[in-house]
Amino acid sequence: MSGSTEVLHQNLFYAIYFMPLYMLYPDYQKEEILTFYFPSLDEIITYTTIFSLQKTLTDHDKILIHIKGEQINTPIATDLNKGTLDLLYQLDRETKSISSIVGKLSAFHQNKEIDIAIEIYEQKSYI
């Protein structure tokens, strides 16, 4: 990986905003392995996840995709606990663009838990 793209892959915003959402969802679900770089740990954390496409739109005509997952510990990890991933994406029904992402990621590393809260919203108007 070249130096310029490596910086993007280590950016948590980039990884979350450009999540592989736009794929087929057999039976409204799909399984994925996701990795995120945690700068405070200087580690890449891997999760097994399930993407769930909700069957109905929200009251505001948004498509919901819920991603839940659990940290995969390496075979030599001393941690018994596992971090979790829980993200909720709202997409515009017409354009399919992201209108919001909320949720959290957590990871256990050397028996220490790190939590990262995520809130990203589309701004409707400017001041």
Distance CA 16, CA 7 (A): 14
Asked, for residue 71, whether it belongs to a domain, the answer is yes
Domain that holds residue 35: 3-121
Please write the tens of the pLDDT for every residue from 18-65. 999 988 898 999 999 999 998 888 888 999 999 999 999 888 889 999
- Number of residues written out for the chain: 127
Asked, for residue 51, whether it belongs to a domain, the answer is yes
> What residues contact 42, with CB distance under 8 A and at least 6 apart?
none
Q: Check pLDDT > 60 for residue 80.
A: yes
Asked, for residue 93, whether it belongs to a domain, the answer is yes
Q: How many domains are contained in the chain? A: 1
| Whether the Cβ atoms of residue 37 and residue 12 lie closer than 8 Å to each other | yes
Please write the tens of the pLDDT for every residue from 14-24. 999 999 998 88
Residue 77 — pLDDT band, cuts 50, 70, 90? low
pTM for this entry:
0.86
Asked, for residue 69, whether it belongs to a domain, the answer is yes
Asked, for residue 40, whether it belongs to a domain, the answer is yes
Asked, for residue 127, whether it belongs to a domain, the answer is no
Asked, for residue 126, whether it belongs to a domain, the answer is no
